[in-house]
A = this chain, B = another copy of it.
C-alpha cells in the first residue's frame, strides 16, 4: 500500500513478488494507476475499448504483437497502445513491466479468461 506520500523504488517493489501476469498497484494519480507486473510467456490477444495503455519495460525485452506489426520494447523504453487496438504481450524470458493506465483498466480487456484479474492489490 502506498497511498501516503512516499517514494516508490521499482527494484524494491519487484523484489516483493514473483508470480507472472498479476499486476500490483504502485501508485494512483488523476484517476490513473501505476501498476507493476512480471511477465513470462504469451498473454491473450485483447483490446481495451476505452483505455489507452502505456507499457514501460524496467527489465528484459517485451514483444508487443499487433495485428499488423510487432514491436520489441526493451529496457528504458515505452510503448503506448491506444484504445481499441488489439495487442498481445509476449515475453520469451521474464520481463518486469510498469504500466500507466486508467484505474478502470482490466488486464485482459475484452478477452476475459482465467488470466483476468478483477481485483488488484497495492504493493
Interface residues on A, range: 20 to 34
Q: How many copies does the complex hold?
A: 2
B54 contacts A34, C-beta separation under 8 Å: yes
Contact A79 B30 (CB under 8 A): no
Q: Which residue of B lies closest to A58 (CB)?
A: B76
Rounded to whole angstroms, the CA-CA distance of A27 and B28 in the bound complex is 18
For A11, give the chain B residue with the smallest CB separation: B76
Q: Which residues of B contact A30 (CB under 8 A)?
A: 32, 51-52, 101-102
- A68 to nearest B CB, angstroms? 10
Binding site for B on A (CB under 8 A): 5-11, 27-30, 32, 34, 51-54, 58, 66, 71-74, 76-82, 85, 100-102
